[in-house]
Amino acid sequence: MKEMWDKRYSADEYAYGIAPNVFFKDAIKKYNLKGKMLLPAEGEGRNAVYAAKNGLDVTAFDISLEGKKKALKLCEKENVKIKYEVGDFFELDIINDNYDNAALIFAHFPPEILSKYHKKISELILPNGIILLEGFSKDHLKLSAENPNLGGPKNSDLLFSKESIQKDFPDFEIILLEEIHVELNEGDFHNGTGKVIRFIGRKK
C-alpha cells in the first residue's frame, strides 16, 4: 500500500489537485472550526494547507513520505506551516496530544485497522470537538466499475456505510450522516459522479 501511494505522489502533478475538498471547505466555514485539527491520511496536503490558511493549527499524517514532501512544498508556496508525520498512526507522537477537530477525507484504511483508527481518533478529540468524514460508500463500487476515473478502493471492506460510521463513532452526536451522489472534480483520480458517506459529529 505504501509503495502505491509513494508512486502516485512522486509525480510532479498533485494527484487530487491542490484545491481543498468541497465538503471539507464548506464545513470549516459553516461550523467556524478553530483550534487544533488532526488530518489522517492527508496525502499531498491540499486540505491541510486550506485549514492552515484559515487559522487552524494543523497536524497531519500519512504512510507516504512522497505525500509529505508534496504537502510541505504546497505549504511553502502558500506561506503556511503544518505539522506532518509519516508512519503508522499508533507509532507516532501525535497520538499523545488532543485536538479540537479532525477530518477524514477519503481516508480509507485497511479493514483490519479501520475501526481501531476511528476509535483512537475519537479519543483524541476534546469534548464538543468536531469530526468530519467524507469517504466512498459501499455502493460506490458499482459506479467506479463503470467509470474508472472515479477512483476509490475496489474492495468493499475498505468502503463506508452509515451503519459502520454509527458503530465506529458512538461518542459523537450526529449533526449530519448521509449517503449521497456527488460530482467529483479532484485532480486526475477523482472525476465523475461518485457515491459517498458524509458525517459530521460533535464529541459528547
Residue entry with cell 466555514:
29
pLDDT band for 181, please (50, 70, 90 cuts).
very high
Task: Give the C-alpha separation, 107 to 157, whole Å.
Answer: 13
Quick one: CATH architecture of 2-203? 3-Layer(aba) Sandwich (3.40)
Q: Give the pLDDT of residue 78.
A: 98
Can you tell me the distance from the alpha carbon of 202 to that of 19, in angstroms, rounded to the nearest whole number? 26
- What is the per-residue pLDDT across 143-164, written as a single tens digit (0 to 9) for each? 999 999 999 999 999 999 999 9
Other residues' Cβ atoms within 10 Å of the Cβ of residue 129: 22
Q: Where are the domains of the chain?
A: 2-203
201 has which bridge partners? Answer: 131, 174
- The secondary structure element, H or E, covering residue 22 is helix 22-30
Phi and psi (nearest 5°) for 96?
-95, 10
CA atoms within a 13 Å half-sphere pointing along the CA-CB vector of 179: 14
* 194 within 8 A of 182, measured Cβ to Cβ: yes
SS3 82: coil
pLDDT at 91: 96
Helix (H), strand (E), coil (C) string for 87-150: CCHHHCHHHHCCEEEEEEECCCCCHHHHHHHHHHHHHHEEEEEEEEEEEEECCHHHHHHHCHHH
- The closest of 28, 9, 22 to 189, measured between CA atoms, is 9
Tens-digit pLDDT profile for residues 94-148? 999 999 999 999 999 999 999 999 999 999 999 999 999 999 999 999 999 999 9
Q: Report how far residue 175's alpha carbon sits from residue 194's, in angstroms, rounded to the nearest whole number.
A: 22
Q: How far is CA 56 from the centre of its chain?
A: 16
| Averaged pLDDT for residues 3-20 | 97
DSSP tag of 177: E
For residue 65, what pLDDT band results from cuts at 50, 70 and 90?
Answer: very high
Please give the mean pLDDT across all residues of the chain: 97
